[in-house]
Structure 1
Amino acid sequence: MTNRRAGAILSALLIGSGQLYNRQWLKGLLFAALGLTSIYFFIFELFDLLRGLITLGDRPSGFMKVGKMTRLVEGDHSIFMLIKGLVALIAALLILCYYVLNIRDAYLVGKHRDNGGKPNRFTESLALLGQKHFAYLVLLPPFIAIAFLTVLPLIFSILLAFTNYADPILPPANLVDWVGFDNFMKMINMKVWSKTFIGVLQWTIVWAILATFTTYLGGIIVAVLIHQPGVKFKKFWRTALIIPFAIPNMISLLVMRNMFNNQFGPVNDYLRAIGLNGLPWLTDPFMAKVTVVLVNMWMGIPITMILAFGVLTTIPRDLYEAADADGAGSLQKFRYITMPMVLFATAPVLIMNFAGNINNFNVIYLLTGGDPVNVGYQFAGHTDLLVTWLYKLALNQSQFSFASVIGIFIFMFIASFSIWSYTRTRSYKEEDMIH
């Protein structure tokens, strides 16, 4: 039997034994120590945690009579068991990777011996590891951190959609159970949920289109106007119009909320002062939607304006001179020269803005709070987006499972649209042609 095969088989049977077979004593002992620790931890800790991930507990907390006394007996907490089970699952996957690495290392060293080489000493192995695999060593800590701090919460939020974790079924007094696709079916079949979902989804799409189109086109128009040769004080206009971007969104939105207050807001006070009636900016369903679009334009146009300035400076002046020679007007130059060049450079940003507006929590929640109230909706108002409805369901109504269903839909919708639209942009296609 060759050294490579013998080392791999021994390492598969017992972690570290392949390294000992290849006469790498200290390395083999370290592999074996970590392997035995992992096996012990898996048998006595991880197995119970993984079992809890499957069962989500079998004994709820409650009062029980012990002798003549009634005491609160602590039972299983389904959500804690779910989280611990996911941690155990990721830990088990990391242990599996370590096990495969152990076999691979023994195989490669054995292969080196079969070819007439000598196994490296421990110091030589460390030096080779630092030289050949330095990038992996540096990336390993953030990879583990991402697994536990990013991937785990994401999986946890997805799994909640397949449970009945919603008021009144809340731990520790009640145990949470797996219910499969019941929540998805309720969202579709139950009229009170389906009506709210469809209504909020329609407004979310309309809002995303309006918010993206108005800020994008408005920012380009403002940038083009300032960029005109005859406009004076260009630096002043650029500085003045970029101020809304420099102010934190929260401050701007809270100020706007007070300015558009129906009874005491300065906007309606000015309208009344010139003999006009005040408008229901935030209390009428239609006017509230108009208001959030206008406020979003105030904050979003400077961002597009900055991007457009950078693109406009790269457009060759020869194109405009040729257009002037052909007798083209300002609108024709904007349509056939400026807009295509700007769109080509900023198409990915446009897609990103659309996806961001679908999840534009701050503008809606801080300006209107999702109001005015819609009596036909389930825990949602006229201006609620899917993301603000999700927030209300989870934080205000404890409907965590339904909030998770909405979160899954938002992710699938945004991911599908972003990938589909980006792969059809000119910048993406021409990049593929270059490569």
Structure 2
Amino acid sequence: MHINPSVGKPAQQRTGNRALTAGLLSIIPGLGQLYNRRWIKGILFLSVAAVFAATLLVPLINGFIGLITLGDTPDVDDSQALLVEGILSVLVTAIAALFYAVNIADARKDAQLHQDGFRIPSIRESFHNSYDRGFPYFVVVPTFVMLTMIVIFPLVFMICLAFTNYNLYNSPPAHLLDWVGLLNFKALFTEAVWTKSLFSVLSWTVIWTLVATTLQIALALFLAVMVNDRRVRFKRVIRTVFILPWAVPSFMTVLVFAAMFNDTFGAINRDIFSHLGGFIPWLTDPFWARVAIIFIQVWLGFPYVFTLFTGVLQSISKDWYEAADVDGGSRWDKFRSITFPHLMYATAPLLIMQYSYNFNNFNIIYLFNKGGPPVPGQNSGATDILISWVYSLTFNENNYKMAAVISIIMGLLVAIFAFYQFRRTRSFKEEGMY
């Protein structure tokens, strides 16, 4: 007499066995779906896997080999091309691994539905259900794939360069690149020239970011509060004039200021300080060059912040100020307890982005004096910030390895600072409360 081995076993155990079988068969994509009698889906998974194995398996293996070795024969193997192909192989493999995981999960899910007695939806029903539940993913995934190739791929390539010996004297394809581990990072913090340049540029970058951004915010706050005063007339005209520096392209403004600050023929020295019997070396003295750049950034940056503050000030209810008047509050009390908290709460994320933007504000540094004047014993200029120093190392000295190392440090600093500041803002803390 034949006895069904599944009789008497718990349904959960039988379900688990069927799901396990489907998962094991899905080691070859599509077989698990065929086991579940999902013929169309199984054929699709199997076809995609077969096409992938036939067309991409060998190139991916070669890509991984090239990524490890970076070439064997100079003038024949291009280490840079092999590095690119290797990174692409890693990204494609990650996508294939995701497809493989989806294939196994899909087979196990259908097996459990079948064993539990539920009807397995058709291909059309599955598509409609997935579209209804996962519409945001259908919209986000194409953009995510594009960002992966446009943003993540160059970022990974740059990170890889930081661990190679890629510079002017070792450029492929005439030479082969080698993986050097953390030697570039060690050189940055141990060799005198690099250490002096790094700490000089890093300290000036921090000073530049804090001073220039804080001054432009303070100036914008002062002007916005003054113009918003009910005693001021012609508010529209005044606000229009204050916004004009923002309307003019910034590169034109910087070039005009570079000519005005010129040591010899600049209008500031010739028409102002010459009558006072003075002369200021705006472009040749490190201190005065930094003062000039901070002044230009305040001029360029305050109109945007002024516009933000003006919009918030107009949205604050007048009833609060009237209540403060009834309680006998002074102008300072009203500013401290009503105006300033509302301004900071509404604009804090944007103000933080102003600090992050100025940390990487390449245009003003390069257009004003290209990071000069030069400093003895350094391979960076007196007004170079990290981003302009990276540009100089990349395009002027072709020192790609050290430029990549500094870029990694710069990215970490910006990310840590922005994340820390966002976490401290009230708008971030209260985001999940509603």
In structure 1, the partner of 2:7 is: none
Whether the aligned pair in 2 keeps the contact of 1:49 and 1:88 (CA below 8 Å) is yes
CA distance in 2, matches of 1:37, 1:381: 54
Runs of 4 or more consecutive aligned structure 1 residues displaced over 6 Å after TM superposition: none
SS of 2:315's partner is coil
In structure 2, the partner of 1:10 is: 25
CA distance in 2, matches of 1:302, 1:99: 53
Normalization by structure 2: what TM-score? Answer: 0.91
Whether the aligned pair in 2 keeps the contact of 1:23 and 1:119 (CA below 8 Å) is no
In structure 1, the partner of 2:114 is: 113
Matches within 5 A, 1:114-263: 114-263=115-264
CA distance in 2, matches of 1:415, 1:351: 12
What code does the residue aligned with 2:204 have? W
- Residue 392 of structure 1 deviates from its aligned partner by 0.4
CA distance in 2, matches of 1:280, 1:226: 36
Residue from 39, 59, 62 that aligns with 1:25: 39
Residue 382 of structure 2 is aligned to residue 382 of structure 1: yes
Normalization by structure 1: what TM-score? Answer: 0.90
Change (3 A) 1:134 1:322: closer
In structure 2, the partner of 1:283 is: 284
Change (3 A) 1:11 1:341: same
- Residue 243 of structure 1 deviates from its aligned partner by 0.8
Whether the aligned pair in 2 keeps the contact of 1:393 and 1:403 (CA below 8 Å) is yes
- Residue 99 of structure 1 deviates from its aligned partner by 1.0
Change (3 A) 1:119 1:339: closer
In structure 1, the partner of 2:356 is: 355
Whether the aligned pair in 2 keeps the contact of 1:87 and 1:148 (CA below 8 Å) is no
CA distance in 2, matches of 1:294, 1:221: 17
Whether the aligned pair in 2 keeps the contact of 1:165 and 1:400 (CA below 8 Å) is yes
CA distance in 1, matches of 2:418, 2:240: 32
CA distance in 1, matches of 2:70, 2:420: 38
Change (3 A) 1:44 1:372: same
Change (3 A) 1:27 1:401: same
Whether the aligned pair in 2 keeps the contact of 1:3 and 1:113 (CA below 8 Å) is no
SS of 1:49's partner is helix
In structure 2, the partner of 1:309 is: 310
- Residue 220 of structure 1 deviates from its aligned partner by 0.5
Residue 60 of structure 2 is aligned to residue 43 of structure 1: no
In structure 1, the partner of 2:425 is: 425
Matches within 5 A, 1:269-280: 269-271=270-272, 274=275, 276-280=277-281
- Residue 27 of structure 1 deviates from its aligned partner by 2.0
1:364-389, CA deviations, whole angstroms, 9 ceiling, x for partnerless residues? 111121011112211x1110001100
CA distance in 2, matches of 1:16, 1:166: 48
Whether the aligned pair in 2 keeps the contact of 1:271 and 1:278 (CA below 8 Å) is no
SS of 1:423's partner is helix
CA distance in 1, matches of 2:41, 2:320: 68
Change (3 A) 1:130 1:317: closer
- Residue 42 of structure 1 deviates from its aligned partner by 4.3
- Residue 141 of structure 1 deviates from its aligned partner by 2.0
- Residue 267 of structure 1 deviates from its aligned partner by 2.5
CA distance in 1, matches of 2:126, 2:349: 46
In structure 1, the partner of 2:105 is: 104
SS of 2:152's partner is helix
What code does the residue aligned with 1:250 have? F
Change (3 A) 1:117 1:334: closer
CA distance in 2, matches of 1:139, 1:431: 22
Residue 417 of structure 2 is aligned to residue 402 of structure 1: no
What code does the residue aligned with 1:33 have? S
1:381-401, CA deviations, whole angstroms, 9 ceiling, x for partnerless residues? 110001100110011101111
- Residue 210 of structure 1 deviates from its aligned partner by 0.6
Change (3 A) 1:181 1:45: same
CA distance in 1, matches of 2:36, 2:248: 65
CA distance in 2, matches of 1:234, 1:359: 34
Unaligned runs of 5+ in 1: 62-74
CA distance in 2, matches of 1:128, 1:335: 54
Whether the aligned pair in 2 keeps the contact of 1:24 and 1:120 (CA below 8 Å) is no
Which shows bigger deviation, 418-427 or 48-57? 418-427
Q: Percent identity at matched positions?
A: 38
CA distance in 1, matches of 2:116, 2:335: 70
May I ask how many residue pairs the two structures share in their alignment? 419
1:322-355, CA deviations, whole angstroms, 9 ceiling, x for partnerless residues? 5545665544543444333322322222222112
CA distance in 2, matches of 1:325, 1:367: 52
CA distance in 2, matches of 1:24, 1:317: 67
CA distance in 2, matches of 1:319, 1:94: 56
- Residue 77 of structure 1 deviates from its aligned partner by 1.0
Change (3 A) 1:275 1:140: closer
CA distance in 2, matches of 1:11, 1:165: 44
Matches within 5 A, 1:331-346: 331-346=332-347
Change (3 A) 1:428 1:139: closer
CA distance in 2, matches of 1:285, 1:78: 40
SS of 1:313's partner is helix
CA distance in 2, matches of 1:45, 1:377: 44
In structure 2, the partner of 1:71 is: none
- Residue 119 of structure 1 deviates from its aligned partner by 3.9
What code does the residue aligned with 2:186 have? M
